[in-house]
Amino acid sequence: MKHIFNKGKDATRPTLLLLHGTGGNELDLLPLAGRIDDEANVLSVRGNVLENGMPRFFRRLAEGVFDEEDLIFRTKELNDFLNEAAQKYGFDRDNIIAIGYSNGANIAASLLFHYQNALKGAILHHPMVPRRGVELPDLTDKSVFIAAGTNDPICSPAESTELQSLLEKANANVELHWENRGHQLTLDEVEAAAAWYKRINS
Ligand code: MLT
């Protein structure tokens, strides 16, 4: 997959996996990584699917309606890519924290739904429930931060709470942070994510 890898100063820190929103690319979230942990490795990936020229991490049939078969295929493709990247760049495969926005948060949530050890944790900005009616792996010791908007027209408050409860039922530690805003990624939620990251890594 097309990506950027920036080696961090401190090899004991997690590797931050950056996953952009629809129409974005691997450059978009680089400033976030610096705010979360400026000494960590950064692996920023571009989605392999194009929708009218806009990169995404999996196909959708309509706004908010996912192509499940492609979601499953692309989730495996990303998980395999993480295995290869860990080998190639020599980072700890078991210590990856994803930071995703919108479509990127959805594929990160899908990694958690499908693979027990894909991620150690995730910061999900405005995620949806990636799939329903499936049994999640045991996510004991995985930590997830969800940033949601009370007026988000794409990810409703009910869906954000549903995602929290599905992850908690699978034993993940989940913190749900609310902004009185819509789907946009706000500086306040990034700062809340940075505070959460410090708590879980101290
Ligand atoms: C998706 O398709 O993943 C969600 O609708 C969010 C987005 O617009 O990318």
Query: What is the full DSSP assignment across 156-171?
Result: -HHHHHHHHHHHHHTT
The predicted model gives 34-44 an average pLDDT of: 97
Backbone angles phi, psi at 70, to 5 degrees: -70, -40
23, 50, 160 from 47: Cα distances, Å: 9, 8, 23
pTM of the full structure: 0.98
Instruction: Identify the residue whose C-alpha is closest to ligand 1 atom 7.
Output: 103
CA distance 111 to 119: 7
Burial of 131 from C-beta contacts in 10 A (0-12 / 13-18 / 19+): middle
**Residue 93 Cβ < 6 Å to ligand 1:** no
CA–centroid distance, 95 to ligand 1, in Å, is 26
CA distance 120 to 93: 9
Could you tell me the pLDDT band of residue 202, with boundaries at 50, 70 and 90?
confident
Query: Is 102 one of the annotated active-site residues of the chain?
Result: yes
Could you tell me if 147 and 189 are in contact, meaning their C-beta atoms sit under 8 angstroms apart? yes
CA–centroid distance, 159 to ligand 1, in Å, is 13
Ligand 1 pocket test: which of 29, 102, 128, 184 has the largest number of ligand atoms within 8 Å of its C-beta? 102
The predicted model gives 70-77 an average pLDDT of: 98
Could you tell me the pLDDT band of residue 177, with boundaries at 50, 70 and 90?
very high
CA distance 148 to 183: 8
pLDDT at residue 121 tops 90: yes
- Check residue 75 and give its pLDDT: 98
Kindly provide the b/e burial profile for residues 55-82, where b requires at least 16 CB atoms within 10 angstroms of the residue's own CB.
bbbbbbeeeeebeeebbbebbebbbebb
pLDDT at residue 120 tops 90: yes
Which domains can be identified in the chain, with CATH numbers?
3-200 (3.40.50.1820)
User: At how many degrees (to 10) do helices 103-114 and 68-89 cross?
Assistant: 80
**Residue 22 Cβ < 6 Å to ligand 1:** yes
Residues across the chain: 202
pLDDT at residue 1 tops 90: yes
Tokens of 85: 């990247």
CA–centroid distance, 170 to ligand 1, in Å, is 24
CA–centroid distance, 200 to ligand 1, in Å, is 28
Query: Is 3 one of the annotated active-site residues of the chain?
Result: no
The predicted model gives 132-148 an average pLDDT of: 97
